[in-house]
């Protein structure tokens, strides 16, 4: 990459042109995937029950066969296709390159997971789709391009693909830059074509002038319906720190458990994944029967259910919210260990749920509590503080500026808590490794 960082302005302009073309290709591919996910969800959970004569909606047991079939589909993608369905979400959000030959397994595993209602989000497959399509387009446009340039343009495809799931292309660009760990000259080199690709992806979605874009109303996440909040007080800051630490601790526990479950699931996917799907479906059914709330609050990645949760926050009891946290958290743990998808959106939903619960504390309003929950959950999963702050501020933008300082304090608290927990958990492993080496000597 050293040679690339000294790229002349003419070559940078050429790179930006390639990034724009790749941005269109990646955005179209991402839109097709997201629309396929949406149509699958509607078809499986609404249209199919109606076609089979269930006029009052799907029966209580409906998620069980759907989730079982999902397990078989994802198991096939992991065990039989090149690429093993993409990166495992138990390791967080990966920005590693995906080869075009691995794209069928990524798409199949993503559709089988997200389209069939398992608790993972679309951002993981979108990154893989954008990168693979970017690399493929680069090979077709410039077959003689050096590997470093091809990798750079492929990264622009991920910028464009991610722009479709967020209403702001800046969020996609910041997240991808921070997640890839680029800095110095390398970041400057990627920033111009990457931002351009993200803008192109957003343009494909929203349209230009009188020309409409591709509809993203069914899956894009934007500002949440929250009450206005103009100015925090001392009480808000006092509750922010323990709430953010609690969200980080809960997220750490979920990922720790998922990492322990993954080695049990991996060797026998055709047995373990259908059973995992049945467990997730069972949790959704149990929650719905006890709390008298929709099964969809436990199923799916959560971004479609967020507006309903927040606009109807007053209708939730503390008991129902606690049950939702447990059922959704366990379902997320199982999905992380077994299926393929992104970890961010279930974290957002659980962070919002924790915020709604915290709003029952004296002096802590709903808007700052949810905003802190958003930021703390994202940084606990991704360990990307800037992305977490910007995403939380985007989601609460229409509620006024009052939550911004609380979000920053919450993100910093959750980040430091997560770093400390990760360091503590790694120390016993390091000690065991050292002891094993001493015994060999």
Buried b (16+ CB within 10 A) or exposed e, 22-39: bbbbbbbbbbebbeebbe
Domain assignment present for residue 197? The answer is yes
Residue 433 in any domain: the answer is: no
pLDDT of residue 319: 96
Model pLDDT for residues 106-162, shown as the tens digit of each residue:
999 999 999 999 999 999 999 899 889 888 887 887 777 777 777 777 778 888 888
- Enumerate helices (H) and strands (E) in the chain, giving the number of each: 16, 2
Q: Is 431 part of any domain?
A: no
pLDDT at site 263? 95
**Residue 223 · residue 397 · CB < 8 Å:** yes
186 and 248 fall within a common domain: no
Does 161 share its domain with 308?
A: no
The CATH number of the domain holding residue 77 is 1.10.3080.10
Residue 50, pLDDT score: 94
- Which residue among 179, 212, 245 closes a domain? 212
Same-domain pairing of 242 and 345 = yes
Tell me, yes or no, whether 74 lies in a domain: yes
What local confidence, expressed as pLDDT, does residue 212 receive? Answer: 57
Which residue ranges in the chain fall short of pLDDT 70? 1-12, 167, 180-191, 205-220, 427-441
pTM value is 0.89
Residue 42's domain spans which residues?
Answer: 7-212
Q: Is residue 365 part of a domain?
A: yes
Cβ contact 222:167 at 8 Å: yes
Per-residue model confidence (pLDDT) at position 185: 55
Residue 200 lies in a domain: yes
Phi, psi angles (nearest 5°) of residue 270: -70, -15
Q: What was the pLDDT predicted at 27? A: 85
Same domain as 293, residue 169 = no
Which of 168, 91, 167, 86 is CA-nearest to residue 127? 86
Residue 238 neighbours by CB distance under 10 Å: 13
Instruction: Determine the pLDDT at residue 146.
Output: 75
| CA–CA dist 331, 284 (Å, integer) | 8
Q: How many domains does the chain have?
A: 2
- Whether residues 377 and 307 fall in one domain: yes
Considering the domain architecture, whether residues 187 and 146 belong to the same structural domain is answered as yes
pLDDT of residue 17: 80
Is residue 400 domain-shared with residue 296, that is, in the same domain?
yes
Residues 201 and 239 in one domain: no
The answer to whether the CB of 426 falls within 8 A of the CB of 391 is: no
Whole-number Å distance between alpha carbons of 30 and 122: 10
pLDDT at 216: 58
Closest CA to 336 of 37, 91, 103: 91
- 399 and 269 within one domain: yes
Cα separation, 258 vs 246, whole angstroms: 18
Q: Evaluate whether residue 1 is within a structural domain.
A: no
260 and 361 co-located in one domain: yes
Kindly report, residue by residue over 315-373, the tens digit of the pLDDT. Answer: 999 999 999 999 999 999 999 999 999 999 999 999 999 999 999 999 999 999 999 99
Q: Is residue 147 assigned to a domain?
A: yes
Clarify whether residues 123 and 192 are in a common domain: yes
Q: In this structure, how many other beta carbons lie within 10 angstroms of the beta carbon of residue 408?
A: 18
The pLDDT of residue 147:
75
Residues 347 and 278 in one domain: yes
Question: Residue 223's pLDDT is what?
Answer: 86
């Amino acid at each position: 990459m050293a040679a690339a960082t000294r790229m002349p302005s003419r070559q940078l302009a050429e790179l930006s042109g390639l990034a724009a073309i790749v941005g269109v290709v990646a955005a179209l591919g991402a839109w097709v995937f997201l629309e396929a996910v949406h149509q699958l969800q509607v078809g499986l959970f609404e249209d199919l029950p109606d076609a089979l004569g269930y006029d009052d909606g799907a029966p209580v047991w409906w998620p069980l066969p759907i989730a079982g079939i999902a397990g078989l589909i994802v198991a096939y993608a992991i065990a039989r296709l090149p690429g093993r369905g993409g990166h495992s979400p138990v390791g967080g959000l990966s920005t590693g390159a995906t080869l075009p030959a691995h794209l069928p397994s990524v798409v199949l595993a993503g559709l089988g997971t997200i389209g069939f209602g398992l608790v993972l989000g679309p951002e993981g497959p979108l990154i893989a789709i954008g990168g693979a399509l970017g690399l493929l387009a680069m090979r077709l446009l410039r077959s003689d391009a050096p590997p470093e340039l091809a990798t750079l343009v492929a990264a622009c495809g991920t910028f464009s693909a991610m722009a479709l799931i967020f209403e702001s292309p800046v969020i996609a660009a910041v997240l991808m830059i921070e997640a890839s760990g680029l800095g110095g000259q390398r970041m400057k080199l990627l920033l111009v074509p990457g931002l351009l690709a993200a803008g192109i992806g957003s343009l494909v979605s929203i349209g230009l002038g009188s020309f409409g874009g591709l509809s993203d109303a069914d899956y894009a996440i934007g500002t949440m319906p929250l009450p206005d909040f103009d100015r925090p007080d001392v009480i808000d800051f006092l509750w922010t720190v323990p709430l953010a630490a609690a969200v980080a601790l809960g997220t750490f526990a979920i990922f720790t458990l998922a990492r322990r479950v993954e080695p049990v699931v991996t060797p026998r996917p055709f047995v373990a994944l259908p059973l995992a799907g049945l467990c997730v479906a069972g949790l959704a059914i149990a929650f719905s029967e006890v709390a008298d709330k929709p099964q969809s609050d436990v199923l799916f990645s959560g971004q479609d259910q967020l507006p309903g949760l927040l606009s109807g926050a007053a209708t939730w009891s503390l008991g129902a919210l606690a049950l939702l946290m447990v059922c959704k958290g366990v379902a997320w743990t199982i999905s992380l260990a077994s299926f393929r998808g992104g970890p961010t959106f279930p974290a957002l939903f659980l962070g919002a749920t924790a915020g709604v619960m915290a709003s029952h504390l004296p002096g802590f309003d709903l808007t700052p509590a949810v905003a802190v929950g958003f930021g703390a959950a994202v940084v606990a999963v991704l360990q990307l503080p800037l992305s977490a702050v910007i995403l939380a501020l985007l989601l609460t933008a229409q509620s006024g500026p009052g939550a911004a300082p609380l979000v920053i304090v919450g993100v910093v608290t959750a980040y430091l808590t997560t770093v400390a927990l990760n360091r503590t958990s790694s120390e016993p492993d390091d000690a065991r490794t050292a002891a094993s080496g001493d015994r060999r000597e």
